[in-house]
Structure 1
Amino acid sequence: MARAGRGERGGQGLARVAAVVRAGAAPLWWLGVLAAGAGVCVPGLTGRRIGVLAGAVAFLVAAAVVAVVRRRRHAALAEAASRAGRYDILQDRAVTVREWRRGRRWWLLLAFLVALGSAWVIPAAGGMLLAGCGAGLWLKSAWFRRRFERDALLWVPVGKGAAEYRTTGVAAGR
Structure 2
Amino acid sequence: MARGDRRAYGLARVAVVVRAGAAPLWWLGVFSAGAGLLVPGLTGRRIGVLAGAALFIVAAAVVACARRRRYAGLARSAVRAGKHDVLQDRAVSVRNWRRGHRWWLLLGFAVALGGSFAVPAAGGLLLAGCGVGLRLKAAWLGRLERAADALLWVRVDRLAANGGRPAGQAVEEYRSTGIAAGDAAPGGARRRTAALV
Q: Same fold (TM over 0.5)?
A: yes
In the alignment, structure 1 residue 116 sits paired with structure 2 residue 144: no
For structure 2, the residue ranges without an aligned partner over 5 or more in a row are: 1-5, 163-170, 180-197
Name the aligned partner's letter for residue 33 of structure 1.
V
Shift in Å at residue 34 of structure 1?
Answer: 0.4
Match of 2:165 in 1: none
CA-to-aligned-CA distance 1:34-66 (integer Å, 9 cap, x gap):
000000101000000000000000000000000
In the alignment, structure 1 residue 77 sits paired with structure 2 residue 74: yes
For structure 1, the residue ranges without an aligned partner over 5 or more in a row are: 1-8
In the alignment, structure 1 residue 38 sits paired with structure 2 residue 26: no
Identity %: 70
Residues of 1 paired with 2:135 and 2:29: CA distance?
14
SS in 2 for 1:167: strand
Name the aligned partner's letter for residue 165 of structure 1.
Y
Residues of 1 paired with 2:82 and 2:141: CA distance?
23
Shift in Å at residue 163 of structure 1?
Answer: 1.9
Query: Does the aligned pair in 1 maintain the 2:7–2:82 contact within 8 Å?
Result: no
Match of 1:153 in 2: 151
Aligned residues: 164
Shift in Å at residue 137 of structure 1?
Answer: 0.2
- Structure ranking higher on relative contact order (CA contacts 8 Å, 6+ apart): 1
Shift in Å at residue 164 of structure 1?
Answer: 1.1
CA-to-aligned-CA distance 1:11-37 (integer Å, 9 cap, x gap):
111000110110000000000000000
Length-normalised TM-score, structure 1: 0.90
Q: What do you get for the CA RMSD once the two structures are aligned?
A: 1.7
Shift in Å at residue 120 of structure 1?
Answer: 0.5
Residues of 1 paired with 2:146 and 2:93: CA distance?
18
